[in-house]
Amino acid sequence: MQPGRTGIGAPMRRVEDPRLLRGAGRFVDDIAAPAAAHLVVLRSPHAAARIAGIRAEAARAMSGVLVVLTMAEVAKLGVLRCVTPRHRRDGAPITQTPWRMLADGAVRYVGDAVAAVVAETRAAAQDAAEAIAVDYDPLPAVTDLADAVQPGAPAVWPEIAPDNESFLFRLGDAAAVEAAFARAAHVARLDFRITRVSANPLEPRNALASHDPIEDRYTLTTGTQLPHVMRNEIAQYALGVPSSSLRVISPDVGGGFGMKESPFQEHVLCLHAAKLLGRPVRWTATRTESFLADTHARDNLSTAELALAADGEFLGLRVRTLCNLGAYLAWQGPVSSTNNVGGLAGVYRTPHICTEVRGLFTHTQPTAPYRGAGRPEAIYAIERVIDLAADEMGLDRIALRRRNLIPPEAMPFRTGLDYTYDSGDFPRNMEWALEAADWAGFEARRAEAAARGRLRGIGIANAIESAGGPHRGPMEEAAEIRFDSGGSATLLMGSHNHGQGHETVFRQIAQSRLGIPPERIRFVNGDTDLVTHGRGTIGSRSMMAAGGALVGAAERIIARGRRIAAHLLEAAEADIEFAEGRFCVVGTDRGIGIEELARRSYVPGALPMGEDLGLSALLINRPGDATFPNGCHICEVEVDPETGEAALLSYVVVDDVGTVINPLLVKGQIHGGIAQGLGQVFGEHIRYDAAGQLQTASFMDYAMPRAGDLCGLTVLSNPVPTATNPLGVKGAGEAGTVGALPALLGAVADALRPLGIRRLDLPATPERVWAAIRTAGTPPIA
């Protein structure tokens, strides 16, 4: 084996890919369940209505129908709760919305679950669901944030929040910010909307539930990011049983993006029905059902104000945000709008920052974390208001950023809001990106485009995010290394793989620490019966948390192996060294490989009396501080003024994700993040009409990006390892999305700037860009 070929830092290809590319993945719908029945949910066609009555007799009498569930049949089940603590304006904790498994007397968004049918086939269940007659008394609805705060707006929860305000979150020294604004030479103000989006993973949400009457124990097989967390939530708060009475299995998962971290009603309904019927019950969302029933994301209305001195020094930043929570408080609904607001500081020395977030109910689907979870919104605010300030003050936007960047020698740096950055070289990121993107040659490219009748623009964003750490609550993670009596090693990881490449990179880490070839290491995750504990995969935390736990477990294996090797080799423990998978006596050629040592550790009599047999180690650790991945994004677009269509021409990223475990996988993660950011900038937008009807319930109306919408993406690495975890990693899963939103829209805005256009909201669709150009009067391009 060549050292470094497959270990940390090697561009090892993903071991998952061969089976996935051959169609041999094992997703929930691939799992056979003999005699499984099918569940279909009847959903509300109204955004707001009282339920006057439900008549299900006809449905119950239909052929193939096994059971029809309404609120009366599931009344003893618990609720879906919100676990993010926030407070009302008067300081009292927020009131939980009673999100039952089926609507209890009223519906509050189009798609709210009203009844469920279980039948022999999905078609029979669908037919029976359509036969259920529900008497609705429609009520006025409110779907837009700006309307929800108006006096007299329809109240989603009159008894909880008559003004639709769920919580008020404030952070920062408001008095210091006010003083900074009072002495400012210029104040730039940006009003902006971050649009509502849907995660749309390749694999829709699903559930396969069964119940063992002998053990009185449930099993739920579902694609989820957090198997152990979901087990605990559903068992305790929905089913009312001990966590040991529920097993959750999450096999291959076709994308999660934050949406699949939450428990959902369909999970509980399938489990309940499986026990009622004594047979497995399965459910898979249709694509339209996903649009109607998955949690949505983003949907904020904000005002950002930046105070500057005459020379461009940042003095203070103030951001006020209205956050759309939807009709219910989702499991971690407030996280996106509040947990990552420290990112408003960006990579700048702004001394005083404050923010205020109002969480508001509307008659729309609940919102929850989605790739970036508040970080793209924060970087969008600071980077776009910097561009606006530069334009208004007649300053170069690069020079303005240089003037305010945090230098590497200032680390650790306490920002003006919440965060302390431990490491990073932000000026190097930007200078390298400027060089790689040929920023200096842009004006010539703009002139060439103008000669062809096109508008060319360039955008830049310095991005930083909080990954893992205390800002997402208790972030402990588990890793276990278990050698069997044949000497083979198995990794049992609490962090779940759903596209990140964990099966590859955790093997690389184990190979680097234990010297075992990756192909000889088995990998297990996603089963609460096999894996002792896990916090799961969210917030770009897996490498720092699970990777750190794996390193610690490997150290325990080596420490125990030294004791065993000392006995087997008849040497002092202090004279045993470990390298390249072998325990050796220092200064001799006597040694034993770790796999052979593991086999010997199971042999009775091979170890000293009183020494436990076997070789394994479990570590559940909690990393210290969060890490702060950072980078600089620069992109160019070209706009056709006749159609408003924008084409992406180039994209350069210089990223610091700390130690790079696998450069191929890091680039893949950043590519994917940029693609999701591009989708939101150029088309993705969940829209409701005034009555609360969803206008974007299919891919005919919801514009997902395609491969042809992207260009070649240049990803360069400027790693500055962190000391907050043993691997020095910072997280990479959300880095692309965090910088993409402001960089891409900034490029479009720069293309339109010569026409006198100063504002453009997301998404920059051809229609919206075309309208802005026509409103501006279409002055000559060249």
Does the pLDDT value for residue 345 go beyond 80? Answer: yes
Query: Which has the minimum average pLDDT: 7-21, 184-198, 452-466?
Result: 7-21
User: How much is the pLDDT for 695?
Assistant: 96
Amino acid at 13: R
Q: Give the rounded percent of residues in the chain with a pLDDT score beyond 70.
A: 98
User: How much is the pLDDT for 6?
Assistant: 76
d(CA 21, CA 27) in angstroms, rounded, equals: 13
Q: How confident is the model at residue 758 (pLDDT cuts 50, 70, 90)?
A: confident
CB neighbour burial string for 15-48, b if at least 16 within 10 angstroms, e if fewer: bbeeeeeeeeeebbeeeeeeebbbbbbbbbbbbb
* Angle (CA) 678 710 204, round 5°: 60
d(CA 486, CA 598) in angstroms, rounded, equals: 8
Does the pLDDT value for residue 514 go beyond 70? Answer: yes
User: How much is the pLDDT for 336?
Assistant: 84
Q: Supply the angle between the helices 397-404 and 426-436 in degrees, to the nearest 10.
A: 160
Q: How confident is the model at residue 777 (pLDDT cuts 50, 70, 90)?
A: confident
User: How much is the pLDDT for 780?
Assistant: 52
Q: Supply the angle between the helices 542-568 and 502-514 in degrees, to the nearest 10.
A: 30
Specify burial of residue 217 (Cβ count, 10 A radius: 0-12, 13-18, 19+): middle
User: How much is the pLDDT for 659?
Assistant: 96
In the chain, what are the domains? 17-24+476-621 (3.30.365.10), 34-139+208-278 (3.90.1170.50), 296-470+625-776 (3.30.365.10)
Residue owning tokens 């045993």: 576
pLDDT tens profile 323-342: 999 999 999 999 888 988 99
User: How much is the pLDDT for 102?
Assistant: 98
CB 531 within 8 A of CB 597: no
Residues 6+ apart with CB under 8 A from 607: 564, 567, 601, 613
- Please give the average per-residue pLDDT across 563-582, as a whole number: 96
Query: Which has the minimum average pLDDT: 283-297, 469-483, 655-669?
Result: 469-483
User: How much is the pLDDT for 1?
Assistant: 34
Query: Half-sphere exposure (CA, 13 Å, Cβ side) for 208?
Result: 16
pLDDT tens profile 380-397: 999 999 999 999 999 999
User: How much is the pLDDT for 759?
Assistant: 84
Question: What are residue 212's DSSP bridge partners?
Answer: 217
Cα 312 off chain centre by = 35
Residues 6+ apart with CB under 8 A from 712: 650, 651
For 485-489, the CB contacts below 8 A with 24+ separation are: 485/599, 485/602, 485/614, 486/599, 487/595, 487/596, 487/598, 487/599, 488/520, 488/522, 488/595, 488/598, 489/514, 489/516, 489/520, 489/521, 489/522, 489/595, 489/598
User: How much is the pLDDT for 779?
Assistant: 53
3-state secondary structure of 364: coil
Does the pLDDT value for residue 471 go beyond 90? Answer: no
Specify burial of residue 310 (Cβ count, 10 A radius: 0-12, 13-18, 19+): exposed
d(CA 539, CA 323) in angstroms, rounded, equals: 20
Q: How confident is the model at residue 644 (pLDDT cuts 50, 70, 90)?
A: very high
d(CA 462, CA 426) in angstroms, rounded, equals: 8
User: How much is the pLDDT for 337?
Assistant: 87
Helix intervals (H) in 371-415: 375-393, 397-404
CB 637 within 8 A of CB 647: yes
Q: Give the rounded percent of residues in the chain with a pLDDT score beyond 90.
A: 91
CB 132 within 8 A of CB 117: yes
- Please give the average per-residue pLDDT across 355-363, as a whole number: 98
> What average pLDDT does the structure give for the chain?
95
User: How much is the pLDDT for 743?
Assistant: 98
- Please give the average per-residue pLDDT across 218-247, as a whole number: 97
HEC secondary structure over 267-303: HHHHHHHHHHHCCCEEEECCHHHHHHHCCEEEEEEEE
Residue 475 φ then ψ, to 5°: -115, 35
Q: How confident is the model at residue 536 (pLDDT cuts 50, 70, 90)?
A: confident
Does the pLDDT value for residue 432 go beyond 80? Answer: yes
pLDDT tens profile 588-606: 999 999 999 999 999 988 8
Q: Supply the angle between the helices 375-393 and 735-752 in degrees, to the nearest 10.
A: 30
Tokens of 303: 């005002």
Does the pLDDT value for residue 3 go beyond 70? Answer: no
User: How much is the pLDDT for 166?
Assistant: 97
d(CA 114, CA 41) in angstroms, rounded, equals: 7
